[in-house]
Amino acid sequence: MRRIEIAPPPEADVAVLSRNLDLWPVLREIVDGWRVVEVETIQSPIGLLDAPRIWRTMRGKGTSLGYASMAARIHRSGAKVLVAVDQTSEVIEELGRLLPELHQVLIAHGSIRADHLSMHRITHRENRVFCVWGHSDAEVYRTLGDIAVDCQPVGSLRNAGYVRQYPLHQPRVIHHPVLLVSQYSGADEEQASSTRKRDQILRTLKDHVRRYCVANNLPLTIALRPPASAPHAPRQVDAERRHYERVFDGVRLNFTDPSQAYSTYLASDEADVTIGVPSGALTESFGRGNKVLMIRQTPSTGTYYGFPIEGDWLLTEPTYEEFAARLDKLRAATRADCAAQWQVAREYVVANAETDSPIELVRSQIARALSSAT
């Protein structure tokens, strides 16, 4: 049941989606100093003063009560800029249609792969800028063949929030010989007979890691999945731990605490080598100059687990022998040497990964949008 709001929203410069603020605390720092109106996307309330406008928008623009209520709240507040994360792409697109005069500063939630765009593609629109992780992301959009959104490679905001809170030290102290970043997805991952490419790669990866740890008598740390895109389901963490205890039977295991902010980032910075598929956490760790080993799918099968640049940090559906040889090579190298040798590739994928400058770069985009709108 939607609630009715009698009082008008506060006067604002910037509108932010409440769900984004819940899952992206760094956004509060990004909009600090501007007047902000929060917009609820689930059962958005109806402003009593805006009832006529909401009705006209629903009839004239063919939209839902929820979207008409969101648009009316932003309009009533006087906000000139919407700041949002690209995971809420449906909301972003509809608000862009209903409020074409509203400037949008959008933030990429991860490194962009072509296969991801069916879910989170951001289209070109006047007054819209898309803050992406690196030039590799801008290149994906540039090759779409139509008018691509204005991409500004600024870096990862979550990574920037982490670096601001935990400045990188040189050298970094090693506490974990090998760290595996979990991609656990519940029942889907338990099906050993699954023929999905995602499941095949994860099974192969875990089998290779187990064989290597047993052969080298190495302990293994698992970075459990944090509630980054949604809150954890009941008992999800317990199920995830049990899964890895079965998979890595015979290996000495340690687990991160996913309730701790930035637990995967911290563990990766304290690991000798971080292993996994080319997820956001692995990509950001690569950007910060850590030794990583990413397992991607064969490019001809898609880019869901893809990565744009080949190098010692990457293997494509390897045999165990290939995996073990590459991991041996990485363990024998120093982090400083790898960071220096990989610098160009690192910066291409994640700009400014060793500093908190992406926060100010996004703030400058908001300031520019506000200036253009007034």
Lowest model confidence (mean pLDDT) among 48-52, 189-193, 273-277, 343-347:
189-193
Measured in whole angstroms, the distance separating CA 57 from the mean position of its chain's CA atoms is 33
**Mean pLDDT across 309-325:** 97
Rounded Cα gap, residues 151 and 128, in angstroms: 9
At residue 374 the predicted structure's pLDDT band, cuts being 50, 70 and 90, is: confident
Helices (H), 62-116: 65-77, 89-98
Contacts of 5 (CB under 8 A, 6+ apart): 45, 46, 47, 48
At residue 303 the predicted structure's pLDDT band, cuts being 50, 70 and 90, is: confident
Phi, psi of 276 (to 5 degrees): 165, -170
Lowest model confidence (mean pLDDT) among 135-144, 157-166, 310-319, 330-339:
135-144
Rounded Cα gap, residues 70 and 19, in angstroms: 13
Phi, psi of 73 (to 5 degrees): -65, -45
> 320-332 and 197-216 helices cross at what angle (nearest 10)?
60
Note the pLDDT of residue 171.
81
pLDDT in tens, 34-59: 999 999 988 888 888 999 999 999 99
Lowest model confidence (mean pLDDT) among 29-33, 65-69, 115-119:
115-119
pLDDT > 90? residue 159: yes
What are the beta bridge partners of residue 255? Answer: 222
Domains, the chain, with CATH or none: 4-162+356-373 (3.40.50), 169-349 (3.40.50.2000)
pTM of the complete model beyond 0.85:
yes
Note the pLDDT of residue 146.
67
Q: Which long-range contacts (CB under 8 A, 24 or more apart) does 28-37 make?
A: 29/161, 29/359, 30/83, 30/157, 30/359, 30/362, 30/363, 30/366, 31/83, 31/366, 34/366, 34/370, 35/10, 35/11, 36/12, 37/9, 37/10, 37/12, 37/73, 37/74, 37/77, 37/79
pLDDT in tens, 98-146: 999 999 999 999 998 887 776 678 889 999 999 999 999 999 988 876 6
Rounded Cα gap, residues 349 and 347, in angstroms: 5
pLDDT > 60? residue 230: no
pLDDT in tens, 258-278: 999 999 999 999 999 999 999
Helices and strands of the chain, counted as H and E runs: 17, 14
pLDDT > 70? residue 187: no
DSSP state of 342: T
Which tokens sit at 204? 């192969």
Q: Positive or negative CA dihedral for 194, 199, 202, 208?
A: positive
pLDDT in tens, 321-339: 999 999 999 999 999 999 9
Q: Is 192 exposed, middle or buried (0-12, 13-18, 19+ CB in 10 A)?
A: exposed
Rounded Cα gap, residues 139 and 133, in angstroms: 11
Rounded Cα gap, residues 356 and 155, in angstroms: 9
194 in helix, strand or coil? coil
